[in-house]
Amino acid sequence: MAPTNPVLPAGAPAGAEVCVACHAHAGQSDKPQYPILAGQTPRYIYLQLRDFQEGRRHDPLMSPIAATLTRDQMRELAAWYGAQKPYEQSTFQVDAEKARLGKAKADETLCTMCHLGGFAGQNEIPRVAGQHYAYIVKQLTAFKTRQRTNDAGNMTAVSATLSDADIENIAHYLAGL
């Protein structure tokens, strides 16, 4: 739900006012169920918007919003959010032991082959470093249960090998990066 009078930073593209309610003013959502878009790869943001619009990815909030966007608006929003700098102010308390186990599991499953070192992402592969713990758990669980399948099979295959504890540990690790 879009706020009635959103305040946008200078340079925000048309259409960003509807994004503010969940993703905040510069893409640094303080609501852990919504992803941090600041610093995300523009290609990934664009593809996700397109997937929501075309029904390859489903969300009761995002799907109807994406349905109203033009391709140019999606590209502009993706470029703008990708150019924003993520803050380093997470209030999530990382459990050091779970993060250690999460790093070990991420190393074992070769996550950085796609997400790159530092989990910075590349092209259509998302930046997951510093993402909200709850959002990471939600997405890994969605891939594991095949509620989300817009990934060409890579994440559904990898997440199928993860236990619930693995997902929790990986989320602690990534949230703390």
Confidence band (pLDDT; 50, 70, 90) for 9?
confident
Residues marked as binding? 19, 22-23, 62, 111, 114-115, 155
Residues marked as binding for heme c? 19, 22-23, 62, 111, 114-115, 155
| Alpha-carbon span 114 to 28, nearest angstrom | 23
Domains 16-83 and 96-176 share a fold: yes
Provide CB contacts within 8 A for 22, sequence distance 6+: 29, 31, 34, 61
Residue 158: closest CA among 168, 174, 146: 146
* Confidence (pTM): 0.91
Average confidence (pLDDT) over 134-157: 95
pLDDT digits over 65-93, tens only? 999 999 999 999 999 999 999 877 678 99
Q: Where are the domains of the chain?
A: 16-83, 96-176
Residue 92: closest CA among 36, 163, 22, 24: 36
- CATH homologous superfamily of 96-176 equals Cytochrome c-like domain (1.10.760.10)
Question: In CATH, what number does 16-83 get?
Answer: 1.10.760.10
